[in-house]
Structure 1
């Protein structure tokens, strides 16, 4: 199956995993819309995507802006949410609750708000693909907030799959990926040596899972892990 003649909206689709997903979907014949809060990032993304791709600047933590964004779109087939910010690693012994709440604002509440606003525009037979993370299954010290977000996303996917049926709702669970969001948090070489695949992920590795879930008509409530074996070691 391919995404030929389908419309795909990728929130956070201007860099990293999101951009790789938009590029792969466009390569399968989809018409892609990308959105980000950074105008220069939107321009760079559009330069790498084929026509008729379009892009908009949207603050995904602003519910009014998100509602207006979806109201401006024609009906579409798939929503992908990959938006995120630099990882929030916080020591429980010196917890900054304001930062912890802020970390949930985009990754969890941003995703939930986007789905709520997008549902009226999603065509029958369409899907939503959200993003969780391997930290929820195998956290380390300092990962209490990040792991909690992942756990919340896992539960959200299953609940939405039931509530929004027959619309399909799934998620991708990446491990360590070579993107700007990870570069200051981990040593890629050290991490790669510990993984069974002996390398960290590339955005294209993870993008393939999002496109698979868009194309798979019998998958809903599913969370596809693409983590290089992170949970095994």
Structure 2
């Protein structure tokens, strides 16, 4: 899609690692001016070292005052991508600590909505907003009820918000298991075992790379005829 993103201003919330960083890399290569936000100074510095043209901002997406100040200083821009995520909420519902589920909402649902609502006045009407949800929203699998609540809530809102914001477009990409630093807390052996287990549950027989999700995000950003849509880029694990 040559020329679609050249000189466009893009904000990626949570863009210092994983899917967000892969999206930033593709957009910079396409000529966009990209600002990534995150809470970790170290991760933002690492992203900046890898792609020196990135603009980086330390920002807590649970802090509405910080968000409002950031977007006011940013001014008008073309595209917003929300890759904010947490790590809590999984487990069998009968024994799931509801405080964990609450933490899961605080790590993903509320930061995405806070950022979205704060940014709306500054996103160009010819631009786009793209959320990253998760395959758990559509899975009927034991142990994912809490994650389904978090991601399903986001996905259910998108068609209604699309009608409210028109002609500004809003969509979502729903990934399955992706090889990102999110898994690095595991030992290498545990991570390999988990990936083997999940790959066997996909129709593609493999774990996704972050660049594949970034491709889907750029499609939604660049195609001006798509809005109110969730693209499932999950290898079929949700089927």
- Please give the alpha-carbon distance, in whole angstroms, between the structure 2 residues aligned to 1:106 and 1:169: 21
Match of 1:28 in 2: 30
| Unaligned ranges ≥5, structure 1 | none
Match of 1:178 in 2: 179
Secondary structure, in 3 states, of the residue corresponding to 2:226? coil
Match of 2:119 in 1: 118
Secondary structure, in 3 states, of the residue corresponding to 1:32? strand
| Unaligned ranges ≥5, structure 2 | none
Secondary structure, in 3 states, of the residue corresponding to 2:49? helix
Matched, 1:209 2:216: yes
- Please give the alpha-carbon distance, in whole angstroms, between the structure 1 residues aligned to 2:131 and 2:172: 4
Match of 2:226 among 211, 219, 224: 219
- Give the Å deviation of 1:50: 4.5
RMSD of the TM alignment (CA)? Answer: 1.6
Match of 1:192 in 2: 199
- Give the Å deviation of 1:100: 1.1
- Give the Å deviation of 1:47: 1.5
- Please give the alpha-carbon distance, in whole angstroms, between the structure 1 residues aligned to 2:201 and 2:117: 39
CA 1:180/1:85 → structure 2, altered by over 3 Å: closer, same or farther? farther
Secondary structure, in 3 states, of the residue corresponding to 1:55? strand
Match of 1:7 in 2: 9
Runs ≥4 residues deviating over 6 A: none
Whether contact under 8 Å (2:87, 2:104) holds in the other structure is no
- Give the Å deviation of 1:142: 2.0
Secondary structure, in 3 states, of the residue corresponding to 1:231? coil
- Please give the alpha-carbon distance, in whole angstroms, between the structure 2 residues aligned to 1:175 and 1:17: 12
Deviation string 1:180-226 (CA, Å, 9 cap, x unpaired) is 32454870012213322121001001000111111000110011111
Match of 2:131 in 1: 130
Match of 1:228 in 2: 235
Scaled by the length of structure 2, the TM-score of the pair is 0.91
Whether contact under 8 Å (1:26, 1:50) holds in the other structure is no
CA 1:101/1:195 → structure 2, altered by over 3 Å: closer, same or farther? same
* Number of equivalenced pairs: 231
**1:67-146 → structure 2 map (5 Å cutoff):** 67-146=68-147
Scaled by the length of structure 1, the TM-score of the pair is 0.94
- Please give the alpha-carbon distance, in whole angstroms, between the structure 1 residues aligned to 2:75 and 2:83: 21
CA 1:196/1:134 → structure 2, altered by over 3 Å: closer, same or farther? same
Deviation string 1:5-41 (CA, Å, 9 cap, x unpaired) is 1011000100000000111111111100000010111
Whether contact under 8 Å (2:87, 2:107) holds in the other structure is no
